[in-house]
Amino acid sequence: MKLFRYGAVGAEKPGMLDDDGGLRDLSGIVDDIAGDVLSDAGLEKLRALDPATLPQVDGTPRIGPCVGRIGKFCCIGLNYSDHAAETGAAIPDHPILFMKATSAVVGPNDDVILPRGSTHSDWEVELGVVIGKTVKYVSADDALAHVAGYCVINDVSERHFQTQLSGNWTKGKSCDTFGPTGPWLVTRDEVENPQALAMHLDVNGKRMQTGNTDTMIFTVAQIIEHLSSLFTLYPGDVISTGTPPGVGMGMKPDPVYLKKGDVMELSIDGLGTQKQSVGQDA
């Protein structure tokens, strides 16, 4: 099952893809793709529907973030062995955690706007994990049962803000529009193995990132085990699980960063595609 949200910013409605990939409206059934809707019972209620009986969504509406009312946006750094190598970083002993402000979240095809003073903004295609059930102290063996589904995330990062301003990575990760999420929330029953998903990202039509979740240092299940040992995860919490090699800061001989007018296109097998144009704050 593929769920989505559509409409104007801040007024998104819930939807579901039908068997032909058409957009169907769910607003007569649920108020949002959020909260209890993400539970096993909530998703089973939607799964029992015949999408053909739902109203069609006309035209080509804006697709919003695939999850509403996100609680925590947890991100894992340096979680691909080949990405760690390109940045010259050591393999971490535990998942590296930082938080992205939920105000950074935008739709998958919304513009990414570089903040004032940005000179080192970068791209990162990542597998997103959406929590569906409240969980604390879960084992890796049981962790995936608490996942509602998966999605594509572009963890856009301002590297100077991230590494050179006093503080932690959050400063370079939380700029407005730096969290394109979606297009679809693909429920976990449709993702046979989250550790076998190919992904890629292009900038201006040139392939920059090519990777697969099978090179993750910490699996999705291990990440959930670790995070749930630190704090409770709630329905609608999002985890962005790290990026494969090919980011701009790792380019040789010279790093390459985003500029106004650039276009990013990114995809993960079975989870959909994003496309963002890059703008610049005045």
For residue range 86-114, what is the model confidence (pLDDT) as tens digits? 777 788 999 999 999 999 999 999 999 99
User: What is the reported pLDDT for 170?
Assistant: 82
Angle at the Cα of 81 from the Cα atoms of 169 and 87, rounded to 5 degrees = 50
Q: Which two tokens stand for residue 193?
A: 């193995």
| Upper half-sphere CA count for residue 54 (Cβ side, 13 Å) | 24
The candidate with the shortest Cα–Cα distance to 116, out of 260, 261, 264, is: 260
User: What is the reported pLDDT for 193?
Assistant: 98
Domain chopping of the chain, boundaries:
2-53, 73-280
- Classify domain 73-280 by CATH architecture: Alpha-Beta Complex (3.90)
Torsions phi, psi of 83, nearest 5?
-75, -40
Query: What is the pTM (predicted TM-score) of this model?
Result: 0.96
Q: Which two tokens stand for residue 255?
A: 């790093």
Residues of the chain with confidence (pLDDT) below 50: none
User: What is the reported pLDDT for 22?
Assistant: 97
Quote the strand ranges of the chain, DSSP E. 2-6, 13-17, 23-25, 73-77, 96-99, 105-106, 112-114, 121-122, 125-131, 147-154, 157-158, 179-180, 185-187, 198-203, 206-212, 238-240, 263-268, 272-280
Contact 212/175 with Cβ under 8 angstroms?
A: no
For residue range 193-220, what is the model confidence (pLDDT) as tens digits? 999 999 999 999 999 999 999 999 999 9
User: What is the reported pLDDT for 84?
Assistant: 76
